[in-house]
Structure 1
């Protein structure tokens, strides 16, 4: 949404404003005001016009302009009713030089997770990918994944979901952990999966060119549309306003990406993994022990049974039953 259309919406959001007055406020012609109003109507905004001027009566439920309207973070939003993969589209935009653009979809038809695993992404979820150009060395880029995980966890908690983070990139909900029932298998494994993150990057000469942070969150999705071992906000607490949820998610992420070290510290406080006995499959073999910390920019620190402390930068983590 361009700045003029945003200004039109802000001007008419509370009280009607006559066309000539609106034109004077914005420094544009009356005809330009009319064109902007018509464009906003085409985008789904309900704008009434009467003798007293233009008045905003309603915003679209879920779209790019709807998310941008009232968003307190400097992101442009490209919305799709359905798309193969928001990450694929975000990489295209990154190659074209885009920055701070969010690709948002109601449904993904060809989504994937880490290691190209299939990821169910039906209508009603929150599927988005942010194109970033951070001033970071490539080695520090994993902190952005942690920042996204913290942002998702915080906003899910605002919605009433007891969400936690499983290293490296899953958001989990465990009723067993809430109730203190440590005999339930979901408590040992970390809980049911609510969301995941897929981060991709391109860089050279010690500097990041771009980062795409993809987020998939089961929001208003019913149990029969979820894979085994997953849950949704609908199943936990009922439906949420996805427009507001995405706005809060982007605003919180915007805060955290500006301070990666703070993001890592916040991750520790929201972790389902720290303090757990874990098994991590890495490219070089299996590591088993207690997860005792996460080190900047995102390595899991494991104390093995023989007392060795190992920093794991990538791998599949499984929570184990205590010995």
Structure 2
């Protein structure tokens, strides 16, 4: 959101405030104040005019302006009612030099998850891709996946959802371990430096259970419809904290993990690893105790197994 418009919105939220007062406070013309107020109305903010001036009476349920209003995180929001893939758009922005941008959509029509699997993304979800430019080597980029998982899991747990993280990138719910969130991280870089990282978060929010696979669930199914703008803000703010404090990621991830202490099977490029998941190491390696000793897995498809 443009900075002057943000300040107008903040002033109206504390209103009523007159046009001349706003113009003086922001050092702009009264005509500019009116134009900003009209632009905010077009973005579905309810702004009323009264004898004492303008006052904000309601905010939109979702959208870029709704998420940016009051957001305490260093991200600009690019919002789409519908888009093929937020990750595709985020990669475009990254290749153009953008950073600290969150691409947000109500619906995706061509989304894919890990291993190019189809990802159902109907209207009512939170489909979010973050463009980041971290100062770290490529080998450490997986910490961003863990940070996104922690941020998302904490946010939905605050809503009363029994959520936990399955290594490396899924948020599951309840004893049936139905999938609520998927995370897909992509990056580009050189041998010693990351150029950009895109962290895609797909969250089944205000969606009917019948619109997602049987192995998945939605927030509507678990706790009813939620305020998507507020939840998106919570995710962005916590992720922003964690990316600036990487040492805090692993302890939080361990606390929220449904994988540690479980018997697992991990399909890796080098073959199958079966045993008990005993730890996760920076920047996201899973430590598995097998019959042949400890194995460390950096990437793979993890399956939770029943105890022997």
Question: TM-score, structure 1 length as denominator?
Answer: 0.94
8 A Cα contact 2:138 2:191, kept in partner = no
Match in the other structure for 1:286: 272
In structure 1, the partner of 2:165 is 165
The answer (yes or no) to whether the contact 1:47–1:55 under 8 Å persists in 2 is yes
RMSD after superposition: 0.9
- Match for residue 244 of structure 1 among 226, 230, 236: 230
**Map 1:125-274 → 2, pairs under 5 A:** 125-174=125-174, 176=175, 186=176, 191-274=177-260
1:261–1:297 Cα contact (<8 Å) kept: no
The residue number in structure 1 matching 2:300 is 315
Task: Give the corresponding residue for 1:9.
Answer: 9
Q: CA deviation at 1:202?
A: 0.5
1:42-61 matches, cutoff 5 A: 42-61=42-61
- Following TM superposition, by how much is the alpha carbon of 1:170 offset from its aligned partner in structure 2, in angstroms? 0.3
Post-superposition offset of 1:264: 1.6
Cα offset for 1:45?
1.0
Between 1:139-148 and 1:261-270, the stretch displaced more is: 261-270
Q: Is the 8 A contact 2:79 2:105 kept in 1?
A: yes
- Residues 111 and 119, structure 2, Cα contact 8 Å, conserved in 1: yes
Distance 2:11 2:268 in 1: 55
1:40 Cα offset (Å) = 1.1
Structure-2 separation of matches of 1:125 and 1:137: 33
Structure 1 residue 50, shift from structure 2 partner: 2.5
Q: Deviations over 1:131-152 (max 9, x none)?
A: 0001111111100000000001
Q: Name 1:275's counterpart in structure 2.
A: 261
TM-score where L is the length of structure 2: 0.98
Moved beyond 2 Å, runs of 4+: none
State how far apart, in whole Å, the 2-side matches of 1:272 and 1:72 are: 29
Partner of 1:29: 29
TM-fit CA distance, 1:261: 2.1
Residue 322 of structure 1, CA deviation: 0.7
Rounded Cα–Cα distance in structure 2 between residues aligned with 1:238 and 1:136 = 40
Aligned to 2:275, the other structure's residue is in SS state strand
Report the Cα distance in structure 1 between the residues aligned to 2:118 and 2:15, rounded to whole angstroms: 48
Residue 209 of structure 1: SS of its match in structure 2?
strand
In 2, Cα distance between equivalents of 1:150 and 1:88:
23
Structure 2 counterparts to residues 24-103 of structure 1, below 5 A: 24-103=24-103
Q: Secondary structure at the match of 2:186?
A: strand
Measure how far apart 1:238 and its partner are. Answer: 0.9
Q: Is the 8 A contact 1:219 1:240 kept in 2?
A: yes
Secondary structure of 2:14's counterpart equals coil
Aligned partner of residue 220 in structure 2, secondary structure: helix
SS, match of residue 54 in structure 1: strand
Tell me how far 1:15 sits from its aligned partner. Answer: 2.1
CA distance in 1 between counterparts of 2:284 and 2:272 reads 19
Residue 2 of structure 1 deviates from its aligned partner by 1.1
Cα deviation, 1:172-208, whole Å, max 9, x if unaligned, reads: 012x3xxxxxxxxx3xxxx111111000000114111
Residue matched to 1:180 = none
Q: Which runs of 5+ in 1 are unaligned?
A: 177-185
2: CA distance between counterparts of 1:314 and 1:50? 59
C-alpha distance in 1, partners of 2:294/2:34? 66
The answer as to whether partners of 1:126 and 1:242 remain within 8 angstroms in 2 is yes
**Aligned-partner Cα distance in 2 for 1:213–1:247:** 16
The 3-state SS of whatever aligns with 1:16 is: coil
